[in-house]
Amino acid sequence: MAAPNLPAGLHVFERGWLSANNILFTGGDETALVDSGYCTHSPQTLSLVESILGSRPLDVLVNTHLHSDHCGGNAALQARYPDLRTLIPPGHAQQVANWDPIALTYLPTGQLCPQFNFTQALQPGDSTRFGAEMWQVHAAPGHDPYSLIFFEPQSRLLISADALWENGFGVVFPELEGAEAFSEVAATLDLIERLNPKTVIPGHGRVFAYAPEALAHARQRLDSFVSNPSRHARHAAKVLLKFKLLEIQRQDFNEFVRWAVATPYFMQIKDKFFADIPVTAWVEQLSAELVTAGVAKRDGILIENR
């Protein structure tokens, strides 16, 4: 199926899974970029932006939420464009201002995010200009308690971040921390249904034409997690391992296990949901499942990304 047509002056850089997609607006008086990818991909992010803007500056940077794959390129963009205004969700504004990488989850998840600053916190219920159009700002808790999504009602275009992908949604991290957030995922899916978009630009994966089947699939997936929280926890642990593989590409398996043991968020999941399994055996199990799924490879003493 061909990708939906996008309005003039809107460019989507589909980045894969280590980096979130970037959405660049060049219409109107100011340029704007939504999400900046992971820090190790910053040179590519800069190259992609400059390939469209040329000598024109980037004026505004917006983050849907502050996970490292969505804001890891902020510092590089701020260095490249000194007058850049950066807009972030309100929930972690104080932690960014004081730069607390623990509260921002970068150290606990074993991920990287260079320190950045921000100009303003976006508020749900407001509208903001991207390119030539005004976009509605909506709260979309669940995957992240402070995540935002953006909707342009004339073209019915939705920037959904990790609240809705073509085949699901992002890990519900607050559930792993003891909060009851599956209901927030359901409420966010209900919001998207009410918005009734025509086209969805997800945080990961290709741009897709919205259809009720996408929400039905997401709700089915959510129901499976609600009925079996340990299934969701196991999925989350594999996501953390896969993210690390995307970053490093290949590593001695014993070092891979040592990284997992030293990663507080990973061990928090294990201790809460899988306390009876020795940690090395658990990483072996999860890695074997990644290999079976075709997204990792074991080659002797090495584990590799695929």
pLDDT tens track for 19-33: 999 999 999 899 999
> Are 169 and 297 members of one domain?
no
- Mean pLDDT in residue range 161-180: 95
Task: Output the pLDDT for position 107.
Answer: 95
Mean per-residue pLDDT of the chain:
96
Domain end position, chosen among 175, 209, 226: 226
Residue 1 reports pLDDT greater than 70: no
- CATH assignment at residue 184: 3.60.15.10
Confidence of residue 2 (pLDDT cuts 50, 70, 90): low
- Mean pLDDT in residue range 97-118: 97
- Mean pLDDT in residue range 1-16: 87
Domain end position, chosen among 226, 253, 270: 226
**Would residue 5 count as lying in a domain?**
no
- Mean pLDDT in residue range 289-296: 97
Residue 174 reports pLDDT greater than 80: yes
Can you give the residue range of the structural domain that contains 273? 229-305
Residue 35 reports pLDDT greater than 70: yes
Positions of E strands within the chain:
10-13, 22-25, 32-34, 60-62, 85-88, 120-121, 127-130, 133-139, 148-152, 157-161, 199-202, 208-209, 250-252, 296-299, 302-305
State the chain's maximal CA–CA distance in angstroms.
59
Cα dist from 117 to 48, 97, 127, 284, whole Å:
22, 7, 22, 39
Closest by alpha carbon to 28, among 159, 135, 121?
135
- Mean pLDDT in residue range 215-227: 97
> Are 195 and 150 members of one domain?
yes
Residue 3 reports pLDDT greater than 80: no
| pTM reported for the whole predicted model | 0.95
The dihedral built from the CA positions of residue 102, 104, 109 and 115, taken in this order, carries a sign that is negative
Residue 254 reports pLDDT greater than 90: yes
Number of domains present in the structure of the chain: 2
Residue 175 reports pLDDT greater than 90: yes
Residue 103 reports pLDDT greater than 70: yes
> Are 68 and 194 members of one domain?
yes
Residue 303 pairs in a beta bridge with: 251, 298
**Who wins on pLDDT, 225 or 28?**
225
> Are 121 and 94 members of one domain?
yes
Residue 213 reports pLDDT greater than 70: yes
